[in-house]
Amino acid sequence: MSTVTAATASAAPVRVRIAPSPTGDPHVGTAYIGLINFLYARQRGGQFILRIEDTDRTRFVPTSEQMIFDALRWLGLTWDEGPDCGGPFGPYRQSERTEIYREHAQMLIDNGTAYRCFCTAEELEAVRKQQTAAKLPPRYPGTCRHLSAAQSAENLAAGKPFVVRMVVPAGSTTFRDELRGDITFEHSNVDDQVLLKSDGFPTYHLANVVDDHLMQITDVIRAEEWISSTPKHVLLYQSFGWQAPRFWHMPLLRNIDKSKISKRKNPVSLVYYRDSGFLPQAVINFLGLMGGGMPSPTPIEIVNGAKENEVFSLQQMIERFEVPNIRLGGPVFDLTKLRWLNSEYIRALSPEQFYAALRETVLSDRYLSQIAPLIQSRVDTLGQFGDLTSFLLRDDVMPPAEVWVPKKRTPEETLLFAAEQLAVLEATDWTLEALEPALKQLGESRAWSVKENFMLLRAILTGSTMSPPLLESMVVFGKARTLDRMRRFLETQKKLAAQNQPKK
Ligand code: GLU
């Protein structure tokens, strides 16, 4: 094993973090940014911190945090401080730090860089309407910025609800992005941001800056989409009189068509990749290819004679990857390539390892023991297990039209309804209690009978008109894989329909 270059090894220990919000399944983007932070810390003898940013209670999903932990561990991205293992700068869950944010908001009010805003939702809406009518961009007009101390105290004493906003002075902010150089934002484009909401919870900007400072983060390495937040953060550091960390904004992962990665075009849930039998070594290798931080050409081990210098382990990345080498052109998350890489790793396994991998994932005791009760009352012999459950063991299922189009419906309206089913399921908790009413409500609102509604879903999921209990099967198959199957179905049917269009 070679060591890190002297220049990096001798640099001061760094502290980096990822700060995912638990709003659903863990995202491939979180793993990508996690990997970059992990490598940066490991190469420099620094610390990698996991902080959970759970202050947006409207988007909070209780099961999400544990899924984030599991997914990062699955990939081998272990953290040194975090909500589960603690550390000297805890708590590492923002909902447990609200008092800290309130105190810090007060510090800014006291030094004049923030103020209480008592404007009501109606007042703000009225202003917004006027601005829209005048074709002006929606802006907070600064009404409460000019409130006298006495007026503010009076409102406070009267118990009027308020938010705390930061003063964004006239002028501009310039900050250095380590990958891009200086970036300047004119303040005329920046509103007086809300820092503390009326429920006493902080917004992202306040909590993020206070925590990065208190947790002594030296380098903020995050996705490009946060660049427009950075001037606000830099202003906040100045308002507190703190030194800002270094900022690195990583290029966003892209779909093949170069649009920002989205679940419409790619599975983005790490749970999907794990449950469909991608190997963690392949996924982490693939994420390491994004952005091109590996030196090239690389004299590194090549699995199964793969021609490209593209196959490397997490350990090899720790030895050779360099964050400053990252290229800014959007890295393309190409599923075909990931499958190829996965196949390389699969072929490199010994037969024992391959069998073990199957038994840990698609044929795990956990999974099979959930499937068994679905069919016990439906088989005459144990040998029929596969006949009834193959849809839960297969990667791809594609029903023929006579199976998925209900008798009284056209293919077009059926596909529209299937897309609506997908949207509803995306937004639904993956439990029987939540799934059943959500689907029924959709059916009622679109005048689709329960029978048609469930038959369509059954056809898409199982490829057939008959199956073990549908919702139970979906729960066992899991949200990430069910949604993927529906997306693939819609995608395929769209393509088929386009092919069948008469040529003009
Ligand atoms: N909570 C933000 C997220 O969900 C953190 C962004 C940042 O790293 O500052 O990604």
Tens digits of residue pLDDT in 79-92? 999 999 999 999 99
d(CA 26, CA 64): 7
Position 10 scores a pLDDT of 39
pLDDT band at residue 308 using 50, 70 and 90 as cut-offs:
low
326 has a pLDDT exceeding 50 = yes
d(CA 202, CA 53): 10
pTM over 0.85: yes
292 has a pLDDT exceeding 90 = no
d(CA 293, CA 33): 13
107 has a pLDDT exceeding 80 = yes
Which CATH number is associated with domain 365-499? 1.10.10.350
Tens digits of residue pLDDT in 439-466? 999 999 999 999 999 999 999 999 999 9
Residue whose CA is at the smallest distance from ligand 1 atom 5: 19
Q: Say how many Å lie between the CA of residue 254 and the centre of ligand 1.
A: 18
Other beta carbons within 10 angstroms of residue 352's beta carbon come to 8
Partnered with residue 332 across adjacent β-strands are 254
SS3 state at 277? coil
Name the residue among 32, 23, 73 with its Cα closest to residue 52.
Answer: 23
**From the candidate CATH numbers 3.30.230.30, 1.10.1160.10, 3.20.20.80, 2.60.40.420, the one assigned to the domain spanning 270-360:** 1.10.1160.10
**Which CATH superfamily groups domain 1-250?**
HUPs (3.40.50.620)
Mean residue pLDDT across the chain: 91
Catalytic annotation, residues: 263
Tens digits of residue pLDDT in 9-55? 334 589 999 999 999 899 999 999 999 999 999 999 999 999 999 99
Residue 165, φ and ψ in degrees, nearest 5: -115, 150
Tens digits of residue pLDDT in 386-414? 999 999 999 999 999 999 999 999 999 99
Q: Say how many Å lie between the CA of residue 343 and the centre of ligand 1.
A: 33
Residue whose CA is at the smallest distance from ligand 1 atom 3: 20
d(CA 94, CA 484): 32
Domains 1-250 and 270-360 share a fold: no
- Given the DSSP bridges, would you call strands 219-223 and 246-250 parallel, antiparallel or unpaired? parallel
Position 223 scores a pLDDT of 94
Task: Name, in order, each residue with C-beta under 8 angstroms of 493's C-beta and a sequence gap of 6 or more.
Answer: 411, 415
SS3 state at 314? helix
Position 295 scores a pLDDT of 66
Sign of the CA dihedral with 24 first, then 28, 30, and 31 last: positive
Please name the residue that has the structure tokens 């395929």. Answer: 492
Q: Say how many Å lie between the CA of residue 20 and the centre of ligand 1.
A: 5
Q: Say how many Å lie between the CA of residue 351 and the centre of ligand 1.
A: 41
Please name the residue that has the structure tokens 């999907």. Answer: 272
370 or 327: which leads in pLDDT: 370
Domain locations along the chain: 1-250, 270-360, 365-499
Average pLDDT estimate for 140-153: 90
**Cα–chain center distance at 303:** 30
d(CA 135, CA 160): 32
SS3 state at 221? strand
Task: Please give all residues whose beta carbon lies within 6 A of any atom in ligand 1, as ranges.
Answer: 19-21, 53, 208, 222, 226
Say if residues 253 and 270 touch (Cβ distance below 8 Å).
Answer: no
Question: Among 208, 232, 260, which residue has the most ligand 1 atoms within 8 Å of its CB, making it the best to mutate?
Answer: 208
Question: Among 72, 213, 226, which residue has the most ligand 1 atoms within 8 Å of its CB, making it the best to mutate?
Answer: 226
